Amino acid sequence: ILYIFFLLSANLMLSQQKQYPFQNPDLDTEKRIDNLLSLMTLDEKVQALSTNPSVKRLGLTGTSHVEGLHGLALGGPGEWGGKNKQPLTTTTFPQAYGLGETWDVEILQKAAQVEGYETRYALQKYNRGGLVVRAPNADIARDPRWGRTEESYGEDAFFNGTMTVAFIKGLQGNHPKYWQTASLMKHFLANSNEDGRTYTSSDFDERLWREYYALPFQMGVVEGGSRAYMAAYNKVNRIPAMVHPMLKNITQKEWGQNGIICTDGGAFKLLLSDHKYYADQYLGAAAAIKAGINQFLDEFTEGVYGALSNGYLKEKDLDEVLRGNYRVMIKLGMLDNASDNPYSKIGKEKDTIDPWKTEAHKKIALEATQKSIVLLKNETGLLPFQKEKIKTIAVIGLRADEVLLDWYSGTPPYVITPLQGIKNKLGNNVEILYAKNNIDGKAVQIAKKADAVIVIVGNHPVCNAGWANCPVPSEGKEAVDRQSLTLEQEDLIKVVYQANPKTVAVLISSFPYAINWTQENVPAIVHMTQNSQETGTALADVLFGDYNPAGRLTQTWVKDITDLPELLDYNVRNGRTYMYAKKKPLYAFGHGLSYTTFKYNSVETNSETIAKNGEIKATVSITNTGTKDGDEVIQLYVKQLESKVERPQKELKAFKRVFFKAGETKKVDLVVKAKDLEYWNTARQTFELEKNTIEIQIGSASDAILLTKKITTR
């Protein structure tokens, strides 16, 4: 009798859990959503336009957003875990700009997988955060003055798109039915000025829209599988991005984006206050929803109710956009039984160790940081330092004994500063002298005593100041563009170098600087970005030869601010990026050195021609001719020789980071796809492959082309 009672009770509970068709995981997704919308009241539909489309009455628990540009953020300077709430520590990687400088899709995907796992864990173990991750930033850093350069992978659309795809795949996972987390790309579209971002217009022609600004987002949707993005604050060709026809006409109808399209924070109010685009909020709310917006990041209910009561919106308009929210919720398994979703088990085991405490996650953070380091100069072979030949070393600089977090950082479980990393590396065998600056002459004093000097300088990612305030002209962040490319701390490098010419300059920065004097005088220069919990360990590994650096720049570092067009000039053909630059840069796109040397022997292609929808494989023979093992980043550019339309000077179309043992020769395959050689034919409104002669250029940087081969398109 007891057994029968238990069985009846279990069946009753199961029937209550599965009382609606939308709860049936075997039913077609669209039919599930049909049923759900039919059961929801108008009030519930309005509330579901928030970042958490839960419907408590129906037992539907949705999920909200978290930040995650370079690790899950549930803490940090932005207090993302909640104001005045104890932060939850999470694995913290280099800034996105630094992740880009790895030129390594595999490590990027691993880092994103770690972040996605920790996002699930934080929600399911500690009830913190959500499963829609606002990352990656697919915007293009077309100008180094942009305050949010740190959030972007670089200046090249194809490169950014490739890295965006890798990050999305890492976040979302490879399960055939469910996502680990949902990747929400930022900020659509052409959002790369901070000053005036809430009212300025990013203006450019249709070809640049298709070939440049939109390409990383298109790749993110079509190749990466992202089904969520955030509309930008700015106007695009005089229309506010969040009400632009491009949201529906292109991203949905052409690319197949059928999930979340959200506003940026506070953007709904800006339609009236800054853009002054509508007479009232009711018209604004109606326009946003009809454009495809289905999640608002500020107060919207009054506007939506007003639009409904005035007849600007109908309930079916809400139904149409809400479908996207619930498609994402279904992919995350929010409407299904947890036992069917393997990701729902994360963090549920009784003896689970927090993942950010595991050696596996620490190892990936270290590897990503090592791979992000760029050796800009090593003229006299000063690096790597030989520990056995150094008795005293001086470590100097404002950034030497800190790891700075940016606005979108979480709180790392630990940090290793450069000074600590150097101490850990050298132990008690070497005397380490330290000075933060030269105010009292200490920096010069210890530099003179030392066998070698390491000067560590760079920006402060949140400017050590309040919101929208950067007292130092060369610094920038969200809401503040940079007013200068001059490194104010370069004077410290000068006085230290004068005291001891065996000086290495380490620039830890979120963006490029015009360090012309340092490049001309200091024998060795290293660049890396802020934020990684393993900053000091990775840097020490590189400085003392335990890791051979192979990072590459993802942006053109100009010599002077006057080499740049006006910040609001979005026509990149006017001298922006390596594709259109008119002046020789300080450091070229793709630049980065190694402690070993590589010889590019030959390049062969598997065909002399490439046709529509086809591809061509270039096989490059390369030898590590040096004495050290190391990575090489092989870069393939194309130059269109007989195009009838304006084309860039050259364009990156394939790249690969490959490890070589000393003396080893490898053949590396790089694939060029025909679709990546096309241009947008505005008259025919389609991408078109011209009949053309194309020069394939293979090298170690955009200005270091070592092999060429001609092919034709047909």
To the nearest 10 degrees (0 to 180), the angle between helices 157-172 and 215-222 is 30
Look at residue 325 in the predicted model and tell me its pLDDT. Answer: 98
Report the distance separating Cα 403 and Cα 536, nearest Å.
Answer: 8
For residue range 211-257, what is the model confidence (pLDDT) as tens digits?
999 999 999 999 999 999 999 999 999 999 999 999 999 999 999 99
Residues near 457 by beta carbon (within 8 Å), at least 6 away in sequence: 397, 398, 399, 487, 489, 490, 492, 493, 505, 506, 507, 508
What mean pLDDT do residues 121-143 have?
A: 97
| Higher-scoring residue by pLDDT: 11, 185 | 185
pLDDT at 1: 55
Q: What would the mean pLDDT of 462-482 be, rounded to a whole number?
A: 97
Does residue 190 carry a pLDDT above 80? Answer: yes
Distance, CA of 457 to CA of 528 (rounded, Å) = 11
Half-sphere exposure at residue 10, Cβ-oriented, CA atoms within 13 angstroms: 6
Q: What does residue 581 show for φ and ψ, rounded to 5 degrees? A: -60, 140
Q: Who contacts 10 (Cβ-Cβ below 8 Å, separation ≥6)? A: none
What's the rounded mean pLDDT across residues 305-319? 98
From CA 251, how far away is CA 255, in angstroms rounded? 5
Which DSSP helix (H) or strand (E) runs through 301? helix 301-309
Model confidence over 421-432: pLDDT tens digits?
Answer: 999 999 999 999
The structure tokens listed for 282 are 């009711």
Closest CA to 329 of 99, 29, 17: 29
SS (H, E, C) 502-536: CEEEEEECCCCCCCHHHHHHCCEEEEECCCCCCHH
Determine the Cα–Cα distance for residues 211 and 678; give it in Å rounded to an integer.
9
Distance CA 599, CA 622 (A): 6
Token representation of residue 487: 């490194």
pTM above 0.95, yes or no: yes
Sign of CA dihedral 596, 602, 607, 609: positive
Is the confidence at residue 350, as pLDDT, over 90?
no
Q: How big is the CA angle at 102 (ends 101 and 103), to the nearest 5 degrees?
A: 90
Whether residue 281 has pLDDT greater than 50: yes
Euclidean distance between CA atoms 392 and 387, whole angstroms: 10
For the chain, helix, strand, coil in percent to 5 are 35, 20, 45
How does pLDDT run across 682-703, given as a tens digit for each residue?
999 999 999 999 999 999 999 9
Q: pLDDT tens digit string along 88-126?
A: 999 999 999 999 999 999 999 999 999 999 999 999 999
Q: Cα(632)–Cα(628) distance, rounded to whole angstroms?
A: 12
pLDDT at 15 exceeding the cut of 50: no
398, two tokens = 């404002």
Query: The tokens of 240 are what?
Result: 């506010």
Share of the chain above pLDDT 70, in %: 97
d(CA 132, CA 123): 11
515-544 pLDDT, tens digit per residue, is: 999 999 999 999 999 999 999 999 999 999
By the 8 A CB rule, do 232 and 190 touch?
yes
352-384 b/e with 16+ CB inside 10 Å = b? eebbbeeeebbebbbbbbbbbbbbbbbeeebbb
CA distance 531 to 412: 9
Task: Give the 3-state DSSP-derived string for 651-694, with helices as H, strands as E and coil as C.
Answer: EEEEEEEEEECCCCEEEEEEEEEHHHHCEEECCCCEEECCCEEE
The amino acid at 269: K
Per-residue model confidence as pLDDT tens digits over 412-469: 999 999 999 999 999 999 999 999 999 999 999 999 999 999 999 999 999 999 999 9
Residue 463 per-residue DSSP state: T
Is 84 a residue whose pLDDT tops 90? no
Q: What is the pLDDT of residue 349?
A: 82
| DSSP letter assigned to residue 696 | E
The yes-or-no verdict on residue 10 having pLDDT over 80 is no
pLDDT at 351: 73
303-312 as b/e, with b when 16 or more CB fall inside 10 Å? Answer: bbbbbbeeeb
Lowest mean pLDDT among 11-25, 109-123, 296-310, 564-578: 11-25
Residue 220, φ and ψ in degrees, nearest 5: -60, -40
Identify which of 457, 407, 461 has the alpha carbon closest to the alpha carbon of residue 436. Answer: 457
- pLDDT average, residue stretch 566-589: 98
Residue 3 has pLDDT above 90, yes or no: no
Least confident of 128-137, 321-330, 345-354: 345-354
Q: Starting at the earlier edge strand, list the strands of the sheet with 704-713.
A: 609-610, 704-713, 692-701, 630-640, 651-660
pLDDT in tens, 630-677: 999 999 999 999 999 999 999 999 999 999 999 999 999 999 999 999
For the segment 34-81, what is each residue's pLDDT rounded down to a tens digit? 999 999 999 999 999 999 999 999 999 999 999 999 999 999 999 999
With cut-offs at 50, 70 and 90, classify the pLDDT of residue 17: low
In this prediction, residues 157-174 reach a mean pLDDT of: 98
Distances (CA, A) of 422 to 366, 419, 530: 15, 5, 17
Compute the mean pLDDT over every residue in the chain, rounded to the nearest whole number.
96
Q: What pLDDT is attached to residue 352?
A: 80
**Counting beta carbons within 10 angstroms of the beta carbon of residue 472, is it exposed (0 to 12), middle (13 to 18) or buried (19 or more)?**
middle
Taking residues 314-343, what's their average pLDDT? 96
pLDDT of residue 635: 99
